[in-house]
Amino acid sequence: MKNNKYRVLIDTDPGLGKKGADVDDGLALFFMLNNHETFEIEGITTVFGNTRVKTGYPLLEKYLEIANRTEIPHKMGARSKREMGKLNEASSFIIEMVKENPNELILITLGPLTNISTALKHYPELFDDLKRIVYMGGLLEPMDIFSSNSLDTGGLFETTEFNFFMDPLATQLFIETDTLTPRIGMGLDICCKAVFQEKHLLKIKSVNKPIPQFILDDVSDWLDIWKLRNMDGFFPFDTMVPIYLLKPDLFTTKDVFLNVDTSETLGKLTIIDDIKKSSAPITYCMEFKKSTGAEEFMDILVSGLIK
């Protein structure tokens, strides 16, 4: 940490600000931007995913303006999984920053892993030169929440997850590369245990500040979309990552070695029995430690957005 701050590089696929797109990346970004006493954001890169990268990048620029943080370096990355392995501004920037700050930066990934794995292919020491990697992606235990409640994913996300599915080859490299650098995963296992509800929206609505007022309409629309799916609210997936950094004791974890499916159920994770001496296991957050954990999580999230 620098001056008691987490020094972070963020790779993301923002959608908040585009009608009908998921708001979770934007909420995670605004949470970190609004908590500058804790997060020293060294750079943000964008990737395809929730939106096209040419949509997501201008959204990111808008976020930085609203948060009065336009000094933060930001670069546009891959447009699709077909660009995995081809250096772009984002992956080149990631390599440069890690080389200049060895073992000092925490890499946060909130979208498909194309930029990150491209950087890794061109700089194999990337992971070893990071302090920590915390990401949203995958799931370890199959779940049926996306086949119920009218969420209509065709059963796909019972066994895989969007970020990992969108570029399975990048996911495979990211997950199966050996490194002793800690990797912490926030998968659907934990991300579907906290729900953003109407009561949280009302708290945001009550605060007349630039960030809560900007996010209000899109969060409200996204909440309505999920209510139409017979849900009480939506899952704020990506926000798990920064809140894990703030409050790791909120969660129970499981250490695993993993393989990634790249041919059948794309991005699906399988736990393997082999213990790798050359690599640390990946730590997955699985549950909240306390019965009040989800409520505490949501209080932290909303408070961080409206402060």
Maximal C-alpha separation, the chain: 54
Domain definitions of the chain by residue range: 6-306
- C-alpha 220/C-alpha 239 separation (Å) is 17
- In the numeric block, which tokens belong to residue 84? 């995995």
287 strand-pairing partners: 252
Q: Are 247 and 300 in contact (CB under 8 A)?
A: yes
| Tens-place pLDDT, residues 85-102 | 999 999 999 999 999 999
pLDDT at residue 143, rounded to an integer: 85
- C-alpha 92/C-alpha 65 separation (Å) is 24
Which residues does 287 contact at the CB level (< 8 Å), separation at least 6?
189, 190, 193, 251, 252, 293
| Tens-place pLDDT, residues 191-250 | 999 999 999 999 999 999 999 999 999 999 999 999 988 899 999 999 999 999 999 999
CA distance readout (Å), 287 to 211, 256, 292: 30, 15, 11
CATH topology of domain 6-306: Inosine-uridine Nucleoside N-ribohydrolase; Chain A (3.90.245)
pLDDT at residue 154, rounded to an integer: 53
pLDDT at residue 150, rounded to an integer: 45
- Check pLDDT > 90 for residue 31: yes
Per the prediction, the chain carries an average pLDDT of 95
- C-alpha 108/C-alpha 221 separation (Å) is 27
pTM of the model: 0.96
- Check pLDDT > 80 for residue 64: yes
Percent of the residues in the chain that have a pLDDT greater than 90, as a whole number: 90
- C-alpha 170/C-alpha 307 separation (Å) is 37
- Check pLDDT > 70 for residue 128: yes
CA distance readout (Å), 1 to 28, 41, 110, 268, 295: 20, 12, 21, 33, 28
- Scored b (16 or more CB within 10 A) or e, 130-163 reads bbbbbbbbbbbeebeebeeeeeeeeebbbbbbbb
DSSP conformation class of 196 = B
